[in-house]
């Protein structure tokens, strides 16, 4: 049972990791995964764990009550800001240069040091 879960967890993580520029609902993930042996309830359970561990970012999708999930590499994400689409929940990683520019500008004008985990909100190109 344990190895079975580990296998599914890895498959789930692999899927999110190779599609890390997008955010998915559980339904979409279960449908898109070639491993058709993962059930929706298993996916939910594993995903909750991945969110707790900080490997996956969870957002509410627009005004709906469903969640979307996206893989986040915390090590790689150190030192840059993110923009989150308030409609589809997709998280976009800003370049280090752009992040530094924004942070420096704000610091210059307000003396505030923006926390690098700050997430800016907006609408992505697909949702405009």
Residue 42 Cβ, how far from Zn ion at the closest point, in Å?
Answer: 27
Pairing of strands 82-85, 119-122: parallel
11 binds Zn ion (CB under 5 A): no
Q: How far is CA 15 from CA 56, 72, 73, 95, in A?
A: 12, 12, 14, 24
Residue 102 Cβ, how far from Zn ion at the closest point, in Å?
Answer: 14
Q: What gap in Å lies between CA 49 and CA 72, rounded to an integer? A: 14
Q: Count residues contacting Zn ion (CB under 5 A)?
A: 7
Query: Out of 31, 98, 101, 127, which residue is the one contacting Zn ion (CB under 5 A)?
Result: 127
Residue 4 Cβ, how far from Zn ion at the closest point, in Å?
Answer: 32
Query: Interface residues for Zn ion in 47-106 (CB under 5 A)?
Result: 77, 85, 87-88, 93
124 binds Zn ion (CB under 5 A): yes
Q: How far is CA 114 from CA 86, 90, 98, 117, in A?
A: 21, 22, 13, 8
Token digits of residue 42: 């298993």
Residue 126 Cβ, how far from Zn ion at the closest point, in Å?
Answer: 5
The residues of the shown chain that bind Zn ion, judged by CB under 5 A, are: 77, 85, 87-88, 93, 124, 127
């Amino acid at each position: 049972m344990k190895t079975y879960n580990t296998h599914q967890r890895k498959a789930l993580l692999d899927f999110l990791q190779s599609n890390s520029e997008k955010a998915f609902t559980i339904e979409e993930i279960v449908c898109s995964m070639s491993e058709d042996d993962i059930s929706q309830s298993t996916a939910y359970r594993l995903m909750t764990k991945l969110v707790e561990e900080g490997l996956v970012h969870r957002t509410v999708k627009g005004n709906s009550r469903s969640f979307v999930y996206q893989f986040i590499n915390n090590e790689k994400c150190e030192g840059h800001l993110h923009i989150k689409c308030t409609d589809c929940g997709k998280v976009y990683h800003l370049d280090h240069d752009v992040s530094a520019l924004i942070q420096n500008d704000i610091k210059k004008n307000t003396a505030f040091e923006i926390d690098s985990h700050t997430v800016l909100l907006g609408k992505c190109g697909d949702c405009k």
